[in-house]
Amino acid sequence: MKIAKLQWAVHLGALLTLAWLAFAFFTGRLGANPIRELTLRTGLAAFILLGLSLACTPLNAFLGWGGVMRVRRALGLYAFLFASLHLAVFLYDYGWIAGEGFDAGSVYQALFEKRYALAGLAAFLLLVPLAVTSTRGWQRRLGPRWQTLHRLVYVAALLASLHFIWQTKADLRVTLMYVGAVVALLLLRLPLLVQAARHGGPEARTPPRVAESSEPDEAASSRPDPVRR
Ligand code: HEM
């Protein structure tokens, strides 16, 4: 697929999912418990997008699919967007009490008394600095520390996986398929990380095999992304 088409596919895929969720919610197509359904679907979308952003580096390093490096940042930012919506729906679900307004105590209880919610919160909090520093400006300002910081995404992905497993009440098999895919993507990175450590730090990582180009946009292949590692 041409790079521009891939970029379009990512933006369209994420924005159409968002539009469809809003449409389904406001037209009563999310079943008997639309808020819970919205929580589940935004959570799943965030998890899948996080997984896809983690897939970019191995696809580039091992299969030479350099074009995917151009969409990695967008995938990471969309993962963060869906995770933020997921959290917002959760806050509404647990905090809003009809007739009484927002009750911070209920939210506090829901967040800190359930291990799955705590793992989700920790994953989300780790994604925040990655999203904030996902710009070129921040990459320049932080220098080599930027890549070290962005390796936090591995921890965030593991915490999100725990969160996913712990919140599953019935059949674990589907959950384990998603989590297994993310863990496999993390394991695939080990050789790249070992190689980087041997050659003296993050800058010595296997370079992206994406083609160099003089087009300004092409430079985006080496741009940072919120879940860059
Ligand atoms: C403060 C942060 C978070 C809170 C409070 C939270 C809360 C929740 C809740 C309440 C559910 C539904 C449980 C149920 O009704 O059975 C859920 C499901 C889920 N969450 Fe989160 N979450 C958080 C962060 C995240 C993050 C950062 C991700 C991924 C990047 C994520 C991914 C998921 C997934 C994949 C599901 C299950 C979806 C499914 O079963 O289809 N969550 N979360």
The separation between CA 26 and the C-alpha centre of its own chain, rounded to angstroms, equals 26
Whether ligand 1 lies within 6 angstroms of the CB of 78 is answered as no
The separation between CA 216 and the C-alpha centre of its own chain, rounded to angstroms, equals 26
DSSP state of 225: -
Whether ligand 1 lies within 6 angstroms of the CB of 107 is answered as no
**Ligand 1 atom, smallest distance to 175 CA:** 40
Q: What is the pLDDT of residues 22-54, one digit of tens each?
A: 999 999 999 999 999 999 999 999 999 999 999
Best of 35, 39, 89, 176 to mutate for ligand 1, by most ligand atoms within 8 A of CB? 39
Phi/psi for 211 (5° steps) reads: -65, 140
CB-based contact 60:210 (threshold 8 Å): yes
Best of 38, 40, 78, 121 to mutate for ligand 1, by most ligand atoms within 8 A of CB? 40
Q: What is the pLDDT of residues 140-160, one digit of tens each?
A: 999 999 999 999 999 999 999
Whether ligand 1 lies within 6 angstroms of the CB of 50 is answered as yes
- Per-residue pLDDT band at 201 (split at 50, 70, 90): low
CA torsion angle for 111, 117, 122, 128 (degrees, to 10)?
A: -80
Q: Which of 106, 7, 93, 9 is nearest to 43 (CA)?
A: 93
Q: How far apart are CA 147 and CA 130, in angstroms?
A: 10
* Those residues with Cβ within 8 angstroms of residue 178's Cβ, 6 or more apart along the chain or in another chain: 44, 47, 48, 51, 164
Burial class (CB in 10 A: 0-12, 13-18, 19+), 188: middle
Q: What is the pLDDT of residues 48-102, one digit of tens each?
A: 999 999 999 999 999 999 999 999 999 999 999 999 999 999 999 999 887 788 8
Residue 130: Cβ within 10 Å count: 24
Q: How far apart are CA 74 and CA 82, in angstroms?
A: 12
pLDDT of residue 100: 82
pTM of the full structure = 0.87
**Which residue's CA is the nearest one to ligand 1's atom 31?**
43
pLDDT of residue 200: 66
pLDDT of 214 over the 80 cut: no
Whether ligand 1 lies within 6 angstroms of the CB of 82 is answered as no
Q: How far is the CA of 57 from the centre of ligand 1 (A)?
A: 25
Which residue ranges make up each domain of the chain?
Answer: 3-222
Q: How far is the CA of 196 from the centre of ligand 1 (A)?
A: 33
Q: How far is the CA of 42 from the centre of ligand 1 (A)?
A: 8
pLDDT of residue 197: 79
The interaxial angle of helices 72-95 and 3-26, nearest 10 deg, is 10
